[in-house]
Structure 1
Amino acid sequence: MGKLSVAVVGMSAVLSAWAQEAPTDFASQVPLSVSGNGPWYRLELPLAVQLNARQADLSDVRVFNAAGEPQAYALSRQASQRTESRHVVDVKWFPLYAADTRQTLPGVVMKTTPEGTLVEIKPSAATKPGKQVLRGWVLDASAIKAPLQQLSLDWSREQDGFQRFSIEASDDLQHWESWGDGQVARLSFADERVEQHDVSLPGQSARYLRLVWQGQAAPLLTSAKLASATSSNLPLPLVWSQPLAGTRLKAGEYSWQLPTGLSVERLRIELKQPNTLAPVMLAGRSDARQAWQPLSNGLLYRLAQNGQDVVQDELQLPGQVVNQLKLQVDERGGGLGTEAPALRFAVRTTQLVFLARGEPPFSLALGNASVKAANLPLSTLIPDYSFERLKALGQAKIAGEVAVAPPAVTAAVESGPNWKKLGLWAVLLLGVAALGAMAYSLLRKPPVAR
């Protein structure tokens, strides 16, 4: 049986050598630069990588060292980073007044309890008396310890239209950090009411939020809620594509072909003309042979207000994989024109973590429709894995351009016979036949006399 063992070991070595992947097996390679503490490095895959991959789940992504040896790696996607739960809390609000809508906020005195709860806001002694205009509100988030994800406002029914305001955060009521701008709206259109109450926040913690209306008086609030995440495993950021041209199918109907199947979470529709108002319905599908499935609906607009454009050009999607998109526009609002508007799509960033082995430089390879997934779970790649450990890993970055190959060329290459796979099967069958012949020979050999 010694010969049998030698044969098995030898065949395994042949099969392993034949099956060894090399950078030349992939359509594209791009060099990587690494920094920080190894031997594990974390790379945020640019959107160009996902567009150039031949498999939607990125099974054809690999990392090689200078000798062309593959590196062990893991993919960290949205599923492994999802927040555990969300909590929505009603918070107290306190008014901010100024002399007019153009004046910066006057000095105020804010009183808190020893626990940090806000109890009063009143003008400072230096503030001039007179008629005051409601300019904004301070929200007390001191009871919320988790990162703030979303703000939801409701206001007096007498004040319809758009409400735009700046958002600032503070922990001491003295030093304020800008968190960008927010916009909510309550509109009537075609016998329907469209209400937008929610504003996304950056996922950071703060004890207080200050909302200041821009160029207009603030409305009377009737409700203020803050949604927070209870886990530090926050969603990975979104990455946006370049503008994608579309096709006008007929009046009020447009379509777009995505470069590949992608889990799209948001869309941004270009609204070129001022005073555009367009109720829309969006559908998608992953294959031209499938029926269109509804994905989202909403009201897109670009309207002039107080000398500036107020724009709502985004739609939120459920994140399912789609390859084609179709937009239907209610043209009672004027439509979007005779040409299809440009479209940008957003997907979640995917992180690749690899264990550096061998000599640099390292390279990223992708573009092979026939290879199988080779990624490991993060807990296997990093034995003492934790979310905090992931954030502390060394950094890897793309050090060159990733060329997106035309789909037609890819199809032509993939349509030919896969000689490597055929050869592998031939060696495997020959090996099995040799093992069978050897086993048969051993069975027919007469027993040795004792």
Structure 2
Amino acid sequence: MKRVLIVTGWCLAIASVWVSTAAVAADRFAQRFALELDSGAAYYSVTLPAAVYAASQCSDLGDVRVFNGAGEPVPYSLDTPREPSRTPATLRPVRWFPMPPAAPGGTGAPLGVTIAADGSLRATSAPPSRAQDDADLIDIAREARAGSRVEALVVHVRDDNYQGRVNVESSDDLRNWQPAGEAQLLKVSYNGSTLSQDRIELNGMRARYLRLRWLDGAPYIESIEAQVQAASADHAQRAGTQQEWRVGIVARTGPKTGEYFFETGGPYPIDRLRLNLPQPNTVAPAVVYSRAGLETAWREVSSATLFRLHNGTVEQSNPSLEMAPDTDRQWRVVVDTRNGGLGSGALTVAAGWRPATLTFVARGAAPFTLAVGSAAAVSSAVSRADLLMGASSVVVAARLGEVLPDEQDADAQSPGKDPDAMRRYMLWAALLLAVGSLGAIAWRLVRRAQFQAQAPSGSAPVEVPDGGGGTGGVGGTDGLAGDVPSGSGAANVTVKDTGAADADGQSTGKN
């Protein structure tokens, strides 16, 4: 039992040393970035770029820290953009007026259209024929007066098949026009169903008039509706947050036909996915799944009909898939292969997200650094309200600079310095002590086996001393064989461990 306890103790000692060294290694940060500050303000904020997400090992950026020049952590808050709560958008029919080719270059209202006192448009003559129609004038003055934002236009095309590009311009007086974006409209009959893309995104525009200029021929328009959303401060703040994209992600084919897998490479809060099909003239329904790791199950996050259609100089693809922010790293796309799937070639993906903003207190001396990438770190961020504490100080924008060399690497590169030497010495010392202990136990077991092999066949069992004793006596195993009578019928001899021997080398125990 004593030997077992000794071996167990050494194993526990080795394990504790190993765990402690692993914890030290896990507490290191994978990357450090310089923080560039312009003025002597109390608070600074920085928008976290993709490099910070790529280095983080936590889904909530809990391993992000800010250090001052003395290496002390400073208080900080981490704010992620949230989808604002708002009332559902409504669709309202709007007036539109076909415009002849000469009208866009003129001033004031186009021919056949007048402006009422409230700014709305009225038709005074029949619209031009389709052959002469290359633009349409949209009246959204009522929505502008109500203070609402126009999120998109929905153009219902009468044609069974149409594919074309359109440029959008905006104006408040029908004289000065500004570019407002472009879009591609699509309506195609496919296997008894209709595939359509009839939205023109406007991103909350407040202009009074819009002009649609058709680049590939004007379609027959059944009706036009405006998707109107009441303005809110939260929505304006979210619209001001720039969307970041990680492009060029190549999906690999899975073991089953129609399966594609890809990884984002970091805990990005993905809320947009662009799936770029490898071949033109492809239409295929698909379902998108995600999971955090191999130990978790796949969960469905989005589904859509993917398409890429080519018509002369016009090529049109499915819009980006929208979803709630998702920090999972592993993604799976399952495509319906009943009509050929995606064909040959690689599926490429672009992932978009809205980055978080880090605000910190400039406590202590510069330079300040941002560290990220520690498996052992737990988030220490506080809320922005608790960080500012109602202070009137203005939060100044900071910039994330270059990647700094790791402190451990810098020490390792210095002459005569090895940051891991002490840990290695401790491990080797523990291993050598454990091996020595095991060797001593093995030697004692071998000696005991040899003694039992030399004992007479008819003798009774002999209790071998476990403790120390004098040389030449039965306290040691070397003198025990000479003290035990030989031959059959010998008396039983029990040698007790007294820890001492007499002067003649005989044990003081009783026979």
TM-score of the alignment, normalized to the shorter chain, above 0.5: yes
Which has the greater radius of gyration? 2
Matched residue, 2:61: 58
Question: Secondary structure in 1 aligned to 2:248?
Answer: coil
Matched residue, 2:253: 248
**Structure 1 contact 248–339 (Cα < 8 Å) conserved:** no
Deviations 1:100-149 (A, max 9, x none): xxx8834253344444x3223679xxxx9996225223231443455636
Instruction: Provide closer, same or farther for how the CA distance between residues 368 and 152 of structure 1 changes in structure 2, counting only shifts above 3 A.
Output: same
**Which of 295, 301, 326 is 1:295 aligned to?**
301
Within-5 A mapping of 1:81-92: 82-92=84-94
Matched residue, 1:140: 140
**Structure 2 contact 159–219 (Cα < 8 Å) conserved:** no
**Structure 2 contact 158–220 (Cα < 8 Å) conserved:** no
**Structure 1 contact 267–343 (Cα < 8 Å) conserved:** yes
2-structure distance, mates of 1:174, 1:86: 33
2-structure distance, mates of 1:52, 1:149: 39
Deviations 1:342-381 (A, max 9, x none): 2221122211112222222321111112222211211122
Deviations 1:152-182 (A, max 9, x none): 4142433433343112222333222222212
2-structure distance, mates of 1:275, 1:293: 29
Matched residue, 1:356: 362
Instruction: Provide closer, same or farther for how the CA distance between residues 200 and 39 of structure 1 changes in structure 2, counting only shifts above 3 A.
Output: farther
**Structure 2 contact 48–356 (Cα < 8 Å) conserved:** yes
2-structure distance, mates of 1:140, 1:347: 31
2-structure distance, mates of 1:217, 1:108: 22
Matched residue, 1:191: 192
Q: What amino acid does structure 1 have at the position aligned with 2:120?
A: L
Matched residue, 2:444: none
Q: Normalised by the size of structure 1, how large is the TM-score?
A: 0.72
Matched residue, 2:181: 180
Deviations 1:211-262 (A, max 9, x none): 2222211431413123324212232332111322322113222111332444
**Structure 2 contact 284–342 (Cα < 8 Å) conserved:** yes
2-structure distance, mates of 1:369, 1:229: 44
- Aligned-residue sequence identity (percent) comes to 26
What is the Cα deviation at residue 338 of structure 1? 4.2
Matched residue, 2:120: 118
1-structure distance, mates of 2:129, 2:183: 30
1-structure distance, mates of 2:147, 2:331: 37
2-structure distance, mates of 1:336, 1:313: 17
Instruction: Provide closer, same or farther for how the CA distance between residues 206 and 86 of structure 1 changes in structure 2, counting only shifts above 3 A.
Output: farther
Matched residue, 1:107: 106
Question: Secondary structure in 2 aligned to 1:67?
Answer: coil
Within-5 A mapping of 1:12-411: 25-35=28-38, 38-79=41-82, 82-99=84-101, 105-107=104-106, 109-110=108-109, 111-115=114-118, 117-120=119-122, 132-144=132-144, 146=147, 148=149, 150-234=151-235, 235=238, 236-249=241-254, 250-312=256-318, 314-384=320-390, 393-401=395-403
**Structure 1 contact 26–365 (Cα < 8 Å) conserved:** yes
Instruction: Provide closer, same or farther for how the CA distance between residues 226 and 261 of structure 1 changes in structure 2, counting only shifts above 3 A.
Output: same
**Structure 1 contact 38–393 (Cα < 8 Å) conserved:** yes
2-structure distance, mates of 1:402, 1:214: 51
State the superposition RMSD in angstroms: 3.4
**Structure 1 contact 136–218 (Cα < 8 Å) conserved:** no
User: Would you tell me which structure has more strand in proportion to its own residues?
Assistant: 1
Number of residue pairs the alignment of both structures matches: 371
Instruction: Provide closer, same or farther for how the CA distance between residues 163 and 137 of structure 1 changes in structure 2, counting only shifts above 3 A.
Output: farther
2-structure distance, mates of 1:175, 1:37: 44
Q: Normalised by the size of structure 2, how large is the TM-score?
A: 0.64
2-structure distance, mates of 1:64, 1:118: 59
Name structure 1 gaps, 5 residues minimum. 1-20, 404-412, 417-450
2-structure distance, mates of 1:323, 1:129: 54
RCO higher in structure (CA 8 A, sep ≥6): 1
